[in-house]
Structures are given as C-alpha cells and as structure tokens.
Structure 1
C-alpha cells in the first residue's frame, strides 16, 4: 500500500483548496482569517504549556504534598514518575487518534480530561488516590503535546510556519524551566493543592479557543476498524518498562537490582516485537515511515540531544544549588529564572536566525554555543551562585533555542504532509525519553564520580599529609571548644564531610562535561543533514 493511499492520509492533510489572500480554508471549506487560525493554535499552545508545566511544577513542593497526603519519601517520588510514565505511553498514539477523530475534538476531550483529573489530584487525601489520578492526568497531558507541532507544520504556509514553530519551541523550553519557581511561589501563597486547581480556569480558556477556532481537519472514522491491539499492548509494556528503568535505575544500582534487570530484558524484547509489528501490520498505530527520511532520522538524534541538554541542565543546577550551596527553593528559583527569561526573550532572535540561514548552520551554531556554555560548568566550585551561573545559563538558553527550532525544521523539511502527525508524535516521544535518559545518566555520573573523587581526595589527604594533619588538629580544637564529647571523632566526621563536599563538586563538573560532549557530538552530526527544499513540507497542503 503506498503512502498516498494509507488510511487516514486525507485526515492528516489540511484542505487542499487555495485560500483567498489573507485567509485559510478550514475543514468545512470556509475561508477563515489567519488571526482566527492563530487564536485556535494559540489555545493549543496554552494547553501544551499546561501539560508540560505540570511535569515540574510539583518539584519544589514535594515536601508539602508528602505531608498533606501522608506519603513516605519513596511514595512521593511517584507523583512525578507516574505522570511521566503515562505521558510517554500516549504520545505515539496521538497521530493515529487525531486522524481518526480529528484534531479539534481530540484536543478538546484531552483538555477536559486533564482539567477534571487535575481537580481530582488536588482533592487527593491518600497517596494511592493521588498516584491513580496523577497517572490519568499524565495520559491526557501526553495527548495535548504532539498535536501542536503537527498543526504548526501542516496548517500554516511556509511564511508563517517558522513563527508557529518558534512559539512551540518557546513553550517546550520555558515550561520545564519556570515550573519549580512557579510551583514554589504558588504553594507559599495558597497551598500545594492549587498547583492542580490552577489548571481549571486555564482549561476553560483552552476549550473555548480550540473549540471555536481550531477547525483544521476532518476525522477519518474508517481508522476505527482494524486497530492493532497487539501493537498497542506491546508498545505500552515496552514504554512503561523502559521509562521505569530510566527513572529508577540510578537509585537502585541499575542491574544489581532484580526488578530493574528483568524490566530491562522485558523492554528489549517488547521493543523489538513492537517495531516488527509496526513494520508488518497493514494499519500500524505508530507509523515508522518517517525514519526512511535521512533528515528526519538525523533530526531525531538532534532532538534527543536537545532533550538531554534541556532537561539535564534543568536537573543539574537545582540539585547543585540545593545540595552543595544549601539554597532555599526560592533562591534556586531565582537563579533558574535566568534560563527561562533567556529562552523567552531569545525566541524571536532564534526564529530569525533559523529563517535567515541554512538549518544545518543554525544547528551547528546553536549546539556549539550550548556546548561552550555547558562546558563552563566543568570549572564549577562550591562558591558558584547566581553570578557564576549567569553566563552559562544565558548562552545555553540561546543555543538550545536556536538548535531545537532548527532541528525541528530540518526534521520535517523533506517529509510529505501526510506524515506530519506521525513525525510530531515521534519527535515529542524522543524528547521526553531523552530527558529521562539524560537524568538517569547524569544521576549515575554524579554518584559514581563522587565516589571516585572522594577516594582520590581521601588518599591524598591522609594523616601523613602535613596540611591535612594540621587541619584535622584545628578542627579537633574547635570541637573541643564547643564542648563535643568526642572532639577527635567529631573533627574526623567534619573533615570527611568537607572531603565529600569537594568530591561532589568535582562530580558535578564531570556531569557538565558529559552534557557538553553530547552537544559537541551533535555539532558534528549536523554536517550530515541534507538541505531541505523551501516549502517542501507544504506539499499536498496549501
């Protein structure tokens, strides 16, 4: 069966009729002013912002949530983990579902579900209740993210497409960055329950805008026949197993834990079976055909790197500032706000750069700038704070913004419109999985390198070292002056804490180096992309 005759292709493309100047032909064949189109698209963007914000908005308020529902430290971590697990599972299905039901009804249902489950999470009185409704919230959130990029690349003509793509990139980068800051202030001003209740009024706005102005395509009910239930089951088990391994592997010593080991085997087997099923079944729920395009495959790699860099940088800085510097949530939020503001203010600049030059040049410039900025963190000390991280955050934010927009443009530059929804689901899935992999790798690097550096420093700072011996004597005298019952033991404990602090700082430097290395690798890969023909993605559309 050719690409042109695949079920759902007619629903994946915008109306083919040429619209009058300054207007768009909607799914019912009526001319609509572009301002109305942007209102519908803007509603979808607000929905995407809500969905992505809720990933991190609870990060700075987990202690309050834990106390509110009586959860243990292990249980409360699932408030974030279950959301990501559910989100990842639904993302690849959005292309199939939006073709079958149409973008507007699908999105409205997702927003209604997200709003209702947000209220349910906010009203939770036990950890079991919260985890259940948080999982449901994650499913609806994951459904709200991929349709945005597909709409940007199919509804808008080439001269407006990059503007729409810049808006998408802005939300993707801004929401995770400001999430902890916004969540911390909202909890202090009201209560942790308002982290979820706040979604309701925003949800009403999204439902109105999307329901009124987002009539972009027609549904294809024929796709409801012949749904690949085996493929759906294999994909669900594969993604859930993989995401759990990535989320919990570092804390469970990876394959030393039996659960992690067997879930890794299960993910490998079901992943291979899922790919085979999608390549052999006549109506796959996740089309892998976009991977035949060289630019898309390279773009996926670039998207993976930007995902690791975005979520990895957002992970490293708060952990360092909290653990090493002892900053409060508000102080961490103030430092992290630099990244958010940089990405917000640089979005128009990034869009202009990508519009002016070849996407490959933009990717090289963006990834090189991000790599250089992240590499500054290799020299991190235990005295770094707002001023020292300022240049790193500004340059990294600008570089990631340029690289991400260019990577998205290149990914779809040579794809037909009929593959746009499938491509969008895959791009968003890869970005989220990249974030999980990045966090798992960075957590492992920090843990392993802290132990290595501590052993090296402890060996160099033995009692045979005159400087170390003098420092230990001074600490013993200080502890004795404070009335410690065992001054020498207390001094050794304090000395060990100092060594561990220095080892941790060196480990964070190694983590920054690993992050920078990934960006430098993306710089090299960018040279292998093919230049896309102007307007190539518009084929079959306007």
Structure 2
C-alpha cells in the first residue's frame, strides 16, 4: 500500500530573510556535529574531571550516538506535524539548554541520562538542514545549499580536533559543552526571524506511526549500542551484546515491514525503487567509511607511535576542514555546469581518495606531520567531490512533498554509517595489530632481522637487545615490546588504508552500474516528475 503524498505549503519566495533563516539552521547543525565530535575527543579529560572510569565513560559516547541516530529517524515527521520553524526552534534551544547543565553534573548516571537527551536534540538538527534546503532553495542555488549540508560532514568534524585541544588544554573541559551555546542562540534568533511559520498539522497525529517509531528508534539505538560496545565486551561472548544485536535485528525487520504498509510512515521505502536514490544511500555509507582515512588513521598513527595529543594532530585535520569553505562551493559550481556529469565527478573524487590511501600505505615509523600534507590535500578535494554528487543525484529524484521522507532516510543512513564505519575501522585496526604482533614475535625467534622490514630504527635498536634471539633484562624486554607494538601498529594502519581503497573501488563500481545521468537543478525548472529528471 503506497502512502499518500505529504501536502506541502505553497513555495515561499526566496528572500534575504529566508536566507538568514537557512543560515541559522546551518549554524545549529554545525554546532550539533561539533558537540558530538569535540566531546568525544575530550572524553579522557571529561572522565577525569567527573570521576568516571573508562568502562562507564564509554557509555557517554555510545548513548549519545544511539539517541542521535534514533532522533534522525523521526525528526522530519515531527517537523511537518508541528511546523518546521517551531520544531527547529525547540530543538536548537533545548540542545543549548542541556549544554549549560551538562558540565555541572557529576553523578555518572545523571550525566549519561542528560547526554542521551542532548543526543535526541542534536540528532534532530541535521534532518532539518536537508529539509529546508530541499524545500526553500530555488533551483539556481540548490546545489550550494546541498554544499552547506555536505560541509557538516567535511568541515565540522575536521574542525573538532582544534577546538577540543583548545578547550581542554587552554581553557577548561566544560567549554567542550558550553561552546555550542552562543552559536545556538544566534541560530535560534535567525530561525525564528527568517523561516516562515507553517500551520500546525495536528490531524496527522490520527495516523501517527507510533509502532514504527517504537520499533525503528529502539532497534537502531540497540544496534548502535551493540556496535560501539561490542569490541570492549568481546562481542557474542557477552550476553549483553548478543541480546542487543539480536533484539535490534528483530525490531528493525519489523520496522521495515511496518513502514512498507503504513499510510503515513517515517520512511517511504517505495522511493528506493528509484535507482538514483538507492545509489545515493548506498554510496553515502561508503563515503563515510572512505572519509575516515583522513582523520582516524593519521590520528591513530600519531597517538600510538609518537604519543601526540589532540593539539598536535589538529593542524592535519584543519588541512581538510578549512579548505572546505572554498572547495565545497567550487564543486557545487562545477556540478552546476550542464556539460559535467556528476558521476564522473564522484569517480574523480574516489580516485583522489584512492591516491591518498596509496600514499598512506607507504607509512613508516620515521614519518612526521609533513609526510601527511599531500595525503590530507588529496582528502580535502576528494571528500566533497564524493559527497556532493551523491547529494545531487539522490535529491534529483525527490519531489518537494517527499522531502521529509528523503531527509529521514538520508540522515539515518548517514548517522548509522558514521558509527558503523568508525567501529569497523577501530576493530579492524585492533585485530590487525594483534595479528602483526604475533607474526613479528613468532618470526623474530629464528630471524630477528624480519622486524626491520618497515623500520631502520627498529633494526639498530634490536641488535643490542637480542644478540642471541632473547631479551636479557626486563628493561630490554619492555623496549623490545614497544618496538614490536609500533611496527604492528604501522602495519595495521597500512592494512586499513588498503581496506578503504577497496571500499572506494566499490563506490566506483556502484556508480558505473546503478545511477542514471542527472542534470543541474536549474535546467529542470519545468520538470514535472522525478522520471523526467534523469536520462540513461
């Protein structure tokens, strides 16, 4: 049973006032992303300040992410029902209010509870940005609005390292939370003044998808908790993780069946029959995985090999983040050219990411920050060249009344994939490091020179330590163990670069097979249906 179309208010003229309202939504969304990433980077300082151990502290991040993605599923439905401006204002001010309270709480249970509530508010903001972009932006500047949305995945996360380092090292860990208060207040003023006020549509409550909200949100939350806590609790050896993952699978299957038949669903799954939208959701998940090569892997190298703190890694993250202010609009301008096929732009972006990862596989323990500059420069261009074509292609087959459905699906996939990709990379690094450690130690007994394959320093250091193939003292053994760990870490990071290259190649194959050619939005002003927006 197909759901009825969502009746949308008539088009609103695009004025300076409306543009400022959209900027307000962008500011609020960027603040939400920064809060998530900055508090994650500053977690060690936060745990120390409020007296939470490592195991308990891990739930601070997990619970926030679970609540965040759950909120992404229902926010567009609620925004249509209670009006876009009213809902966005409540969410932005609620998010800022919780930021005021959070650092003042020292009880671990209450701290995590407040973090869950803030995650619900924070997760509701990114869908609002996509919703207003799809609804209000005229075709001539639509791609620039989508570029602003893309910057929440490229600009914000890469700025977080510098902010986290500044607050924790120079000011105080509390400002990892309080930093969002001024921008959220500014955003609320712009949203309240700039966005038009739609009427309440409380009649939609008679067809509320309560069962879908319950099964979908709880299933997604349990899945994210299982993914983020699985490695720490040894996966299916833990009854808790087994229960979380099995319950989430059952709930999500039930949710998708319910959504297919519900007259007013959260997700309009019938839209996935459009190849470009299905391609966009699949590739988006892969893009988030590939993008980790510019942040997670260099930071893992500097943290484990050189013992860098966040402040010392931050300049590399800025190499990707700051140029987005220029590169993202340039990519939007390129995609606005009728002669340019966005599928080729996506492929070129994947090529840059592959080249970046190939350079990363040459990693040795002698590398310093300057060895990463070219890698990060390729990432700075490659990331928006991947994300922007995906947004252009996927939204080209979405009609304005379907915007809330597309926003819910797109942002849920984005939120879940970000968590899943981070979990996959972290677990892959851990297991490959263990594998390489065992191989190095096993081979060293008879052939100690094998450990020198990636490090001349290790070679010179091991000669006095192991003259006859065995450690002679506790001090020497400790030094030897450190050298082995460093080499295993370097090899595991190189393996992860190769894994990400595989994902990038898969994106290229999907792009060659699934989507159809789309044209810039301004050339489609007279289009009357999604089918007229694509050509083979």
Query: Structures share a fold, TM > 0.5?
Result: yes
What is the match of residue 154 of structure 2? 173
Equivalent position SS for 1:502: helix
Q: How does 1:28-39 map onto structure 2 within 5 Å? A: 34-39=15-20
**Residue aligned with 2:323, SS:** helix
**Which residue does 1:512 correspond to in 2?**
497
Tell me if structure 2 keeps the 8 A contact 1:306–1:403.
Answer: yes
Q: Distance in 2 between matches of 1:98 and 1:343?
A: 29
The Cα shift of 1:225 comes to: 1.2
CA contact (8 A) 2:41 2:164 kept: yes
Corresponding residue number in structure 1 for 2:336: 355
Pair 1:59–1:197, CA change in 2 (3 A) = same
TM-score, length basis structure 2: 0.90
Aligned partners of 2:20 and 2:190 also within 8 Å: yes
Q: SS at the partner of 2:7? A: helix
Provide the residue aligned with 2:244 in structure 1: 263
User: Tell me, which stretches of 5 or more residues in structure 2 are unaligned?
Assistant: 452-458, 530-536
1:493–1:2 Cα change, 3 Å: closer
TM score, norm. by length of structure 1: 0.89
Find the aligned partners of 2:392 and 2:517 in 1 and give their Cα distance: 11
**CA distance in 1 between partners of 2:507 and 2:209 (Å):** 35
Q: CA offsets, 1:332-387, max 9 Å, x none?
A: 11222212123333112221222221121111111221122123211111222211
Where do 1:141-152 residues align within 5 Å?
Answer: 141-152=122-133
Q: Residue 77 of structure 1: SS of its match in structure 2?
A: helix
The correspondence for 2:69, drawn from 88, 92, 108, is 88
Unaligned runs of 5+ in 1: 17-23, 26-32, 478-485
Which residue in the other structure is 1:15 paired with?
10
Q: CA RMSD in A?
A: 2.3
| Deviation of 1:232 (Å) | 1.4
Note if contact 1:472-1:491 (Cα within 8 Å) is conserved in structure 2.
Answer: no
- Answering whether residue 121 of structure 2 is matched by residue 140 of structure 1, we say yes
Q: Which residue of 1 aligns with 2:213?
A: 232
In the superposition, relative to structure 1, how do residues 217 and 307 fare at CA in structure 2: closer, same or farther (>3 Å)?
farther
CA distance in 1, matches of 2:194, 2:323: 31
1:467, 1:43 → 2: CA distance?
Answer: 58
- Give deviations 1:479-530, integer Å, cap 9, x for gaps: xxxxxxx952332332222112101110010011111211111011112211
Note the alpha carbon deviations across 1:232-254, whole angstroms, 9 max, x for none. 11112210111012111223332
Give the aligned partner of residue 91 of structure 2.
110
- Distance, in Å, in 2 between the alignment partners of 1:10 and 1:216 is 15
Is 1:282 aligned to residue 263 of structure 2?
yes
Determine if the alignment matches structure 1 residue 383 to structure 2 residue 366. yes
**Alignment deviations for residues 18-55 of structure 1 (CA, whole Å, 9 cap, x no partner):** xxxxxx43xxxxxxx52222101000000000011111
| Mapped partners of 2:127, 2:10: distance in 1 | 20
* 1:305, distance to aligned residue in structure 2 (A): 1.2
Q: 46-55 or 461-470, which moves further after superposition?
A: 461-470
In structure 1, the residue matched to 2:517 is: 531
Higher deviation after alignment, 499-508 or 167-176: 167-176
Q: Deviations over 1:275-323 (max 9, x none)?
A: 0111122222332232121100001111111122234542222122111
1:395 match: secondary structure: helix
2:293–2:497 Cα contact (<8 Å) kept: no
For 2:517 and 2:321, locate their aligned partners in 1 and report how far apart those are by CA, in whole Å.
31
Q: How many residues align?
A: 514
Counterpart pick for 1:76 among 22, 43, 57: 57
Q: 2:37 aligns with which of 43, 56, 60?
A: 56
**Superposed counterparts of 1:151-166, under 5 Å:** 151-166=132-147
Moved more, 37-46 or 455-464: 455-464
Pick closer, same or farther for the CA change 1:464–1:92 going to 2, 3 Å: closer
**Greater mean alpha carbon deviation, residues 378-387 or residues 44-53:** 378-387
Q: 1:220 to 1:444 in 2, by over 3 A?
A: same
Aligned-partner SS, 1:527 = helix
Deviates more, 1:278-287 or 1:153-162: 278-287
3-state SS of 2:231 partner: coil
Show the counterpart of 2:427: 444
For residues 444 and 279 of structure 2, the distance between their equivalents in structure 1, rounded to whole angstroms, comes to 48
Cα deviations by residue, 1:202-249 (Å, 9 ceiling, x for unpaired): 222111100011117544221111312221111122101110121112
User: In the aligned structure 2, how far is the partner of 1:83 from the partner of 1:540?
Assistant: 41
